[in-house]
Structure 1
Amino acid sequence: MSKTVRQHVSLLDVATLVLTAVLSAIAVWIALRGPTGPIPVHFGIDGQPDRWGPRSEVAAVVGLMALISGALAGGFGLAAAKAGDQARRRSHRIGQFVVLATVAIVSLLVVQSSLGIGIWTGAGTAAVPVSISVILVIVGAVLGRVSPNPFVGVRTPWTFKSRLAWDRSNRLGGRLLFWTGLAGLILTPILPTTLSVTLLIVLILVIAALTIFESWRVWRADPDRQPF
């Protein structure tokens, strides 16, 4: 490997390769050696299985996660390596990190829920709101650091016409998502699963609406905004 290539390869690129390979191996194992009887493949909002199917269906989902890891996270890694400025490179790396974290968490949830194998085995239906909450914490922690780009962040017509609108709406969204995820982790053991998931979904929609409004509000007040 040349020095130039090594300079553009990060730990996230290595993690992308590892996660893609591991998920691919798990998908093959499930398809060939997984449970032979019907297994839960779909779950209701309460976390209880409402449809059963063959192991090939679970293998396909895990295989899809491997594809997303390799294609999307790998794509972010390539874009970061080719980025001409540090801000854009950082944004692509943040996108890569979010994809890897989300794919890993969702994959663990799928394997645990369908096969009973994973770090949340024994956690029951609480694994669903816990997974959502962890993803919100991760996304919220990095969202405010994203520079303008077409892939990651609060992307509205107004954020692309005002750097101030981009920065403030993404910071607002990051804070709200982070604290929502943290609250979810705290309240999940207390609240019923159905209520926890419903509240998280409602709050995500509210946060999305607030960040869109914030992007418009800041753009309208920004003297340096670009016109449409």
Structure 2
Amino acid sequence: MNPVRSLLLSALFLLMLLAAYLWLLPQMPTVIPTHWNAQGQINGYMTPFKAVAAPMLVIAGLALLTILLPAISPRGYRIKPFASVFTIVMLAVQAFVLVTAFGVLLNGAGHPMHQPLVTTVGLGLLWMVMGNYMGKLRKNFFAGIRTPWTLANDEVWERTHRMAGWVFMLAGLVTVIAAFAGAPLMVAIYVLVGAALIPAIYSYVIYQWLQ
């Protein structure tokens, strides 16, 4: 995916979020729920403006990084050879932010949305998308499992990311199933954190074995 198309999609995300805010604003009170704890209880509020401005800034920042990071990546760690994969992953993160923000706005406007469920399912799907593309990432400083051992050895990087792809896909699927089954949010957090730690540990083990 070329940079222009990426920016257009990011701009579309921003316009969709702004349109939702303007449409729902007359239905929203002065402050709306914006944060839920691990037990699914509301523990944070914002004004509607701040509730939409924060995710819009995040999406805009990610859109900028999608263009900037490939341009500044150092020699030997270039993102450009796999820029399309990097762009898809970054757009997936932006889409996750967009969906969770939609949930917050709909809740605030009195349209019941089980926000912890929305967030958890969104995270699970995001992990699955990342897992699908993990094996296509090449050595770089900005995306992937960046441990001292993956950055030091090309074979360790490749083996770690092939394994990480399966782990992320499985963790994402388990997270989605657990969310619909009514499991506590902490279950999803443990699964997703574990999915990130396992490849990091594996990279050390495979590095030592290769040495």
Q: Provide TM-score, normalisation by structure 2.
A: 0.81
User: How many residue pairs align between the two structures?
Assistant: 205
2:80 aligned residue: 89
Deviation, structure 1 residue 216: 1.4
Q: Does 1:79 align with 2:71?
A: yes
Q: Does 1:201 align with 2:194?
A: no
RMSD of aligned residue pairs (Cα, Å): 3.1
Match of residue 166, structure 1, among 157, 174, 181: 157
Q: Does 1:30 align with 2:18?
A: no
Deviation, structure 1 residue 142: 0.6
2:199 aligned residue: 211
Distance, in Å, in 2 between the alignment partners of 1:27 and 1:146 is 33
Q: Does 1:222 align with 2:210?
A: yes
Match of 1:155, SS state, is coil
Structure 1 residue identity aligned to 2:98: S
Q: Does 1:60 align with 2:56?
A: no
Decide whether aligned partners of structure 1 residues 48 and 11 sit closer, same or farther in structure 2, where only a CA change above 3 A counts: farther
Deviation, structure 1 residue 177: 0.8
Matches within 5 A, 1:174-193: 174-192=165-183
Decide whether aligned partners of structure 1 residues 22 and 200 sit closer, same or farther in structure 2, where only a CA change above 3 A counts: closer
Decide whether aligned partners of structure 1 residues 60 and 132 sit closer, same or farther in structure 2, where only a CA change above 3 A counts: same
Q: What do the CA deviations read for 1:91-121 (whole angstroms, capped 9, x no partner)?
A: 332222111111112222122123349xxx7
- Higher mean Cα deviation, 143-152 or 16-25? 16-25
Q: What do the CA deviations read for 1:201-221 (whole angstroms, capped 9, x no partner)?
A: 212332333212211122222
Task: Indicate if the aligned counterparts of 1:16 and 1:100 stay in contact, CA closer than 8 A.
Answer: no
Distance, in Å, in 2 between the alignment partners of 1:138 and 1:43 is 25
Decide whether aligned partners of structure 1 residues 59 and 189 sit closer, same or farther in structure 2, where only a CA change above 3 A counts: closer
Distance, in Å, in 2 between the alignment partners of 1:44 and 1:181 is 20
Give aligned-pair identity as a percent. Answer: 19
Distance, in Å, in 2 between the alignment partners of 1:168 and 1:116 is 43
Decide whether aligned partners of structure 1 residues 160 and 22 sit closer, same or farther in structure 2, where only a CA change above 3 A counts: closer
Q: Which runs of 5+ in 1 are unaligned?
A: 1-9, 224-228
